[in-house]
């Protein structure tokens, strides 16, 4: 569909089909991608900061090195997505589905992951500083070297069934 880096900044792409598209390095800053289908799309190094991805479908999408700072991922489907080295700083991902996603070295500082699913995801060195994790489901996730603010609060707020924290780091831990 889209062959080279495209400037789609601020565009209304509501409901568009970008499945299998090459959007590598695309500028999608502040774009409206509500209900868009981005299944298996290559969004490596794309700038999606401030984008509206509410109800978007992104299963098996390549989002390595993507910038999703301040993006709205409410109810988005990101099952099996590769978010290695992605920036999700202050992203809103309420009820988003990250099942089996790779969030290796992903920065989720200040992100809202309330009611999100991270089941069976790989969270290697991911940063959850100041993230909202109310009822977030981490069941059977691989959590190695990830950073969380406080284990007691995480244990109280999130679903941790079958999670093994290997070398996880907790700030404010007592």
- The predicted-structure confidence for 61-84, as pLDDT tens digits, reads as follows 999 999 999 999 999 999 999 999
Query: Chain-wide mean pLDDT for the chain?
Result: 95
Is the pLDDT at 118 greater than 80? The verdict is: yes
pLDDT of residue 172: 67
Instruction: Provide the percentage of residues in the chain whose pLDDT is more than 70.
Output: 95
pTM of the complete model: 0.93
Q: Torsions phi, psi of 156, nearest 5?
A: -75, -40
Is the pLDDT at 174 greater than 50? The verdict is: no
- The token duo for 56 is 């978007």
pLDDT of residue 94: 98
pLDDT of residue 3: 45
CA dihedral in degrees (135, 94, 65, 51; nearest 10)? -170
Sheet bearing 122-124, strands edge to edge: 122-124, 142-144, 164-166
* pLDDT, average across residues 9-27: 97
| pLDDT tens string 38-52 | 999 999 999 999 999
Domain that holds residue 171: 1-174
7 pLDDT tier (thresholds 50, 70, 90): very high
Is the pLDDT at 117 greater than 90? The verdict is: yes
How many independent structural domains does the chain possess?
1
Is the pLDDT at 162 greater than 50? The verdict is: yes
Do 136 and 160 form a contact (C-beta atoms < 8 A)?
A: no
Is the pLDDT at 137 greater than 80? The verdict is: yes
What CATH number should be reported for the domain holding residue 141? 2.160.20.80
pLDDT of residue 64: 98
pLDDT of residue 164: 83
Question: How far is 112 from 66, CA to CA, in rounded Å?
Answer: 18
Helix, strand, or coil (residue 56): coil
168 backbone φψ class: left, alpha, beta (φ>0; ψ -120 to 50): beta
Is the pLDDT at 110 greater than 70? The verdict is: yes
Measured between alpha carbons, how far apart are the two ends of the chain, in Å? 52
């Amino acid at each position: 569909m889209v062959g080279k880096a495209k400037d789609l900044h601020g565009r209304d792409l509501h409901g568009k089909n970008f499945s299998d598209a090459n959007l590598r390095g695309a500028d999608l800053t502040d774009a409206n991608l509500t209900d868009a289908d981005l299944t298996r799309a290559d969004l490596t190094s794309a700038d999606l900061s401030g984008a509206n991805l509410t109800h978007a479908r992104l299963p098996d999408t390549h989002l390595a090195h993507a910038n999703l700072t301040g993006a709205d991922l409410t109810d988005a489907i990101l099952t099996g997505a590769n978010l290695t080295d992605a920036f999700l700083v202050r992203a809103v991902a309420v009820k988003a589905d990250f099942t089996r996603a790779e969030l290796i070295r992903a920065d989720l500082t200040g992100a809202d992951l309330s009611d999100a699913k991270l089941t069976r995801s790989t969270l290697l060195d991911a940063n959850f500083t100041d993230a909202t994790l109310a009822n977030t489901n981490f069941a059977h996730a691989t959590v190695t070297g990830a950073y969380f603010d406080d284990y007691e609060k995480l244990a109280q707020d999130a679903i941790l069934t079958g999670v093994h924290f290997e070398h996880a780091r907790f700030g404010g831990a007592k």
